[in-house]
Chains A and B, each alone.
Chain A
């Protein structure tokens, strides 16, 4: 629900994949579900480099980045978090979806990832979480004028 999510404008989300894994079926399904829930989704091809993702997030002024990872690329996400910090994009919320071993989830959360979605996740939960995080990002004091 938008009212619960506290959105001040349509949520803008970047759905992307970093690293060498090209399995983009999952990211496409999530992108389509977010679109159908009324979100504005910037979609990229897989194999993005980390500095590119940070530049893209800056240019598009997104609220949330969703990283899909099915073949160990989640291990690159802490690097992405550092790159976002360097670019002054600390308010951007990052979620990871795909195959993340249970014992590595905490590493991602410690690096600043807001939420990790595992196989079998409920799409409504994913959409609701993204909306809520987008609302938080939009209301971040660093972004107010």
Chain B
């Protein structure tokens, strides 16, 4: 079988990915992360094999214990005989573009285990708590046959909720004493949670944090009262068994279709990304006089970016009219 747009080496790589060879997965991740010329074809070739993994997003403020919780979850799932892939996103410096990727330091106890694959990504200026290509990288990992995929966001503030589109099950992790009344997770991030986790539950203020979270859920619209609030101590795995069974419950619910959550939001997000990228690429390569005219108009202040972008995307009113005329001719009306 041949796949369009892939070299022989690319096709061999796809075969190896689907066989579950970690080195092949890693190489393909690099292509996708950097959006090379091979990325789209590689993703297309593995698309059919996606949709099997349980994807779990872990988000929350810096210092809540996300990486340590990921480490503890890896332990639980490995004991249950599942293979675990981890995607850990750390922030890039807005000044230099560089990054220190250190999430995996907390996962060191699994670093020998062939049943665990940890890959770090720099956010590269992308906002929302993830890297721009995280959604597609998850597809690769899914196709490579990893049972559980844990996605750890950068330490998130109040609006880094992108993981909601990407992971089937969203854990929002908080910890006692991170500011008055869990202010770091008051809006936005709280709303995407399937499960709220209060980590470091051995600390004195933990019960208060749990109570505040529960009180906050009661103020929300109906339905959110059902969101469980669980306490964990990730360093000792206390509460991890309960968390894992709650995740399983949520996963089962979603697969039964009780919850409306499905893969479609993630697919929609990926589609939006793909459209945006294609538009950018085409515009950069486009040397037409129309674009030049728009640039001149922007420079002189005759038009604004939103209007110019609309003109580019819609091709202006005239193009739309032409399209409408063509359609009429086709349908013979």
A61 near B27 (CB under 8 angstroms)? yes
Residues of B within 8 A of A (CB): 6-7, 9-10, 13, 22-23, 26-27, 29-31, 34, 36, 38, 92-93, 95-102, 104-105, 108, 111-112, 117-120, 122, 124
A87 within 8 A of B: yes
Shortest A139–chain B CB gap in Å is 13
Number of A residues whose C-beta is below 8 Å from B? 31
Please report the C-alpha to C-alpha distance between residue A32 and residue B10 in the assembled complex, in whole angstroms: 35
- For B27, give the chain A residue with the smallest CB separation: A61
B98 near A88 (CB under 8 angstroms)? no
Residues of B within 8 A of A32 (CB): 100
Q: A42-B104, A59-B119 are in contact. Are A145 and B38 (CB under 8 A)?
A: yes
B108 near A44 (CB under 8 angstroms)? yes
Residues of A within 8 A of B117 (CB): 59
Residues 42-57 of A contacting B (Cβ, < 8 Å): 42-45, 49, 51-52, 55-56
B105 near A45 (CB under 8 angstroms)? yes
Shortest A81–chain B CB gap in Å is 18
B111 near A55 (CB under 8 angstroms)? yes
* A-B interface contact total, Cβ < 8 Å: 85
Shortest A90–chain B CB gap in Å is 12
A145 near B10 (CB under 8 angstroms)? yes
B38 near A61 (CB under 8 angstroms)? no
Residues of A within 8 A of B38 (CB): 145
- Tell me if A's interface is mostly helix, strand, loop or mixed: mixed
Binary CB contact string for chain A from 28 to 66 against chain B (1 if under 8 A, 0 otherwise): 000110111111111111000101100110111100000
A144 within 8 A of B: yes
A25 within 8 A of B: no
Q: A36-B93, A51-B112 are in contact. Are A145 and B98 (CB under 8 A)?
A: no
Residues of B within 8 A of A49 (CB): 112
- The residue in B6, B31, B97, B99 that gathers the most chain A C-beta atoms within 10 A of its C-beta is B99
Residues of B within 8 A of A31 (CB): 100
- For A56, give the chain B residue with the smallest CB separation: B111
Please report the C-alpha to C-alpha distance between residue A31 and residue B93 in the assembled complex, in whole angstroms: 13
B26 near A60 (CB under 8 angstroms)? yes
A26 within 8 A of B: no
- For A36, give the chain B residue with the smallest CB separation: B96
B9 near A145 (CB under 8 angstroms)? yes
- For B114, give the chain A residue with the smallest CB separation: A55
Residues of A within 8 A of B93 (CB): 35-36, 38
A44 near B99 (CB under 8 angstroms)? no
B100 near A145 (CB under 8 angstroms)? no
Residues of A within 8 A of B105 (CB): 43-45
Residues of A within 8 A of B120 (CB): 42, 60
Shortest B39–chain A CB gap in Å is 10
Shortest B78–chain A CB gap in Å is 15
Shortest B9–chain A CB gap in Å is 5
A45 near B101 (CB under 8 angstroms)? no
Question: Which residue of A10, A34, A44, A145 is within 8 Å of B13 (Cβ)?
Answer: A145
Residues of B within 8 A of A58 (CB): 22-23, 26
Residues of B within 8 A of A56 (CB): 104, 111
Residues of A within 8 A of B112 (CB): 49, 51-52, 55
Q: A59-B22, A60-B26, A61-B29 are in contact. Are A10 and B101 (CB under 8 A)?
A: no
B96 near A87 (CB under 8 angstroms)? no
A40 near B30 (CB under 8 angstroms)? no
Please report the C-alpha to C-alpha distance between residue A50 and residue B120 in the assembled complex, in whole angstroms: 20
Please report the C-alpha to C-alpha distance between residue A52 and residue B36 in the assembled complex, in whole angstroms: 29
10 contacts between A and B (CB under 8 A): A8-B36, A9-B30, A9-B36, A39-B98, A40-B122, A56-B111, A60-B120, A61-B27, A143-B27, A145-B38
Q: A52-B111, A144-B9, A145-B31 are in contact. Are A38 and B23 (CB under 8 A)?
A: no
- For A143, give the chain B residue with the smallest CB separation: B27
Residues of A within 8 A of B111 (CB): 52, 55-56
B97 near A10 (CB under 8 angstroms)? yes
